[in-house]
Amino acid sequence: MTRLLPVDTDGIDPETERPDPGKVVKGDPVHTTWNIEERDGLYCGIWQSTPGAWRVAYDEWEYIRILAGHSILTPDGGAPVHLRAGDSYIIRPGFTGVWEVVETTRKDYVIRL
């Protein structure tokens, strides 16, 4: 097993899914995920979504870095945050709101349960 793992999609079969229809606010977003590492409650990879909006509720920590596109993350009761290429955020457990993809968005992520 190598101890140095590149974060890219080469050789990884993606998973494709849609958000739960009951959470969709707008459109018909399609999510594609390339899971690069999954172990001991840690998940790392690359995620992409086509335009649309859906409700989110986080029970886990997530670090994200936007690689391409434009999304808007709006916390319940808070101001919208525009996410664009180069932006990095930590989403803490307990965050609830709406994730809207304006332009197809690609991010890398690290999730810790």
CA distance 101 to 113: 24
CATH number for the domain spanning 75: value is 2.60.120.10
Cβ atoms of 100 and 53 closer than 8 Å: yes
Q: What is the mean pLDDT of residues 35-49?
A: 97
6 is a domain residue: no
Q: What is the DSSP letter of 20?
A: -
77 is a domain residue: yes
CA distance 88 to 94: 19
Enclosing domain of residue 86: 16-112
The domain total for the chain is 1
Rounded to two decimals, the pTM is: 0.95
Per-residue pLDDT reduced to its tens digit, 45-86: 999 999 999 999 999 999 999 999 999 999 999 999 999 999
- pLDDT exceeds cutoff 90 at 1: no
Per-residue model confidence (pLDDT) at position 2: 83
Per-residue model confidence (pLDDT) at position 106: 98
